């Protein structure tokens, strides 16, 4: 079946612009995660949804970052007034886990590479 | 902050040789997962080992977990050029939600 998809794959923004990144999880997956991966580093957690509920947003670096998953399926990560330090690959992952347990495999999308000029 | 620390940071081997990569972590975990990432691509899940397991196999992959030492190793046997990638260990923490905490990764180069 189809995996996790993300769009756009590449995004170039001028500093100060707003951007919206989309994630389509695997159908039926309850949990959805956003991670940020800087060049040469491992992914870092941003936020987590269980269905439409955002249960953890502790990793969002500032109030310029906002994520939503209004119908419990597709999710959008929005970054307002982008800064150069926001340049990174943004990864989305989904899993079956519906209880908040940590035992389920997370399946990752290809990521969106954001470059802020 | 990143919980896992992989070792070595980079590894270069000849095709056919075995590759061993290590990961250490700091806090109690529910599980540890290894992922592979090819240049410019997303993460591919390789194997998950639970905190009550000591060893797990999947094809040419063998993972061990030592919770007393807070460490794990990933062994790739009979490496191939296609195994060239970055490898990350990621931990699911006890008591946390399902988020994963990744290390910085190991760059593996397999020379044909």
Question: Inter-chain contact B42–A110, Cβ cutoff 8 Å?
Answer: yes
Condensed to tens digits (0 to 9), the pLDDT of residues B51-61 reads 899 999 999 99
Residues of chain A with pLDDT under 50: none
The yes-or-no verdict on residue B39 having pLDDT over 90 is no
Question: Which residue of B3, B34, B42 to mutate against A (max A Cβ within 10 Å)?
Answer: B42
Query: With the C-alpha atoms ordered B82, B83, B84, B88, is the resulting torsion angle positive or negative?
Result: positive
For chain B, say whether A59 makes contact (Cβ under 8 Å): yes
Question: Which of A78, A93, A103, A71 minimizes the C-alpha distance to A11?
Answer: A78
The bridge status of strand B106-111 relative to strand B10-14 is: parallel
Which pLDDT value is given to residue B94?
A: 61
What is the distance between the alpha carbons of residues A4 and A24, in angstroms, rounded to a whole number? 6
Q: In which band, very low, low, confident or very high, does the pLDDT at B93 lie, cut at 50, 70 and 90? A: confident
The overall average pLDDT reported for chain B is 90
Beta strand residue intervals within chain B, DSSP E: 5-7, 10-14, 19-24, 29-37, 43-50, 55-58, 61-66, 71-76, 85-93, 100-102, 106-111
- A40 contact residues in B (CB cutoff 8 A): 104
Q: DSSP class of residue B83?
A: G
| Percent of chain A scoring above 70 in pLDDT | 93
**Contact (Cβ atoms closer than 8 angstroms) between residue B108 and residue B87:** yes
The yes-or-no verdict on residue B42 having pLDDT over 60 is yes
Q: In which band, very low, low, confident or very high, does the pLDDT at B28 lie, cut at 50, 70 and 90? A: confident
State whether residue A56 is helix, strand or coil: strand
Nearest to A42 among B33, B45, B88 (CB): B88
The yes-or-no verdict on residue B95 having pLDDT over 60 is no
- Closest-CA distance, A41 to chain B, in angstroms, reads 5
Which pLDDT value is given to residue A48?
A: 93
Interface of A with B in 17-36 (CB under 8 A): 31, 33, 35
Which pLDDT value is given to residue B97?
A: 62
Question: Inter-chain contact A42–B4, Cβ cutoff 8 Å?
Answer: yes
Question: Which of A72, A75, A67 minimizes the C-alpha distance to A23?
Answer: A75
Which secondary structure element, helix H or strand E, spans residue A2, and what is its range? Answer: none
The yes-or-no verdict on residue B31 having pLDDT over 90 is no
Which pLDDT value is given to residue B111?
A: 95
Which pLDDT value is given to residue A59?
A: 95
Quick one: A101 exposed, middle or buried, by C-beta within 10 A (0-12, 13-18, 19+)?
Answer: middle
Which pLDDT value is given to residue B8?
A: 83
Q: DSSP class of residue A16?
A: T
Which pLDDT value is given to residue A51?
A: 92
DSSP string, B37-55: E-TTS-EEEEEEEETT-SE
**Contact (Cβ atoms closer than 8 angstroms) between residue A6 and residue A109:** yes
Residue A114 sits at φ, ψ, to 5 deg, of -100, 125
Q: In which band, very low, low, confident or very high, does the pLDDT at B7 lie, cut at 50, 70 and 90? A: confident
* Closest Cα in chain B to A108: B43
């Amino acid at each position: 079946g189809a995996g996790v998809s993300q769009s756009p794959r590449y995004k170039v923004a001028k500093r100060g612009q707003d951007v919206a990144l989309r994630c389509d999880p695997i159908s039926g997956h309850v949990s959805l995660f956003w991670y940020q991966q800087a060049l040469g580093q491992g992914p870092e957690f941003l936020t987590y949804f269980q269905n439409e509920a955002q249960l953890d947003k502790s990793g969002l670096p500032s109030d310029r970052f906002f994520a939503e998953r209004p119908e419990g399926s597709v999710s959008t990560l929005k970054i307002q007034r982008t800064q150069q330090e926001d340049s990174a690959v943004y990864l989305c992952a989904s899993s079956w886990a519906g209880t908040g347990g940590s035992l389920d495999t997370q399946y990752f999308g290809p990521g969106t590479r954001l470059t802020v000029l | 902050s990143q919980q896992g620390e992989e070792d070595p940071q980079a590894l270069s081997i000849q095709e056919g040789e075995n590759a061993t990569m290590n990961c250490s972590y700091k806090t109690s975990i529910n599980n540890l997962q290894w992922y592979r990432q090819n240049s410019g691509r997303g993460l591919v899940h390789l194997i998950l080992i639970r905190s009550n397991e000591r060893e797990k196999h999947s094809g040419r992959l063998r993972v061990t977990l030592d919770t007393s030492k807070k460490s794990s190793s990933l062994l790739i046997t009979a490496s191939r050029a296609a195994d060239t990638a970055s490898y990350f260990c990621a931990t699911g923490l006890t008591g946390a939600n399902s988020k994963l905490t990744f290390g910085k990764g190991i760059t593996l180069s397999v020379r044909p």
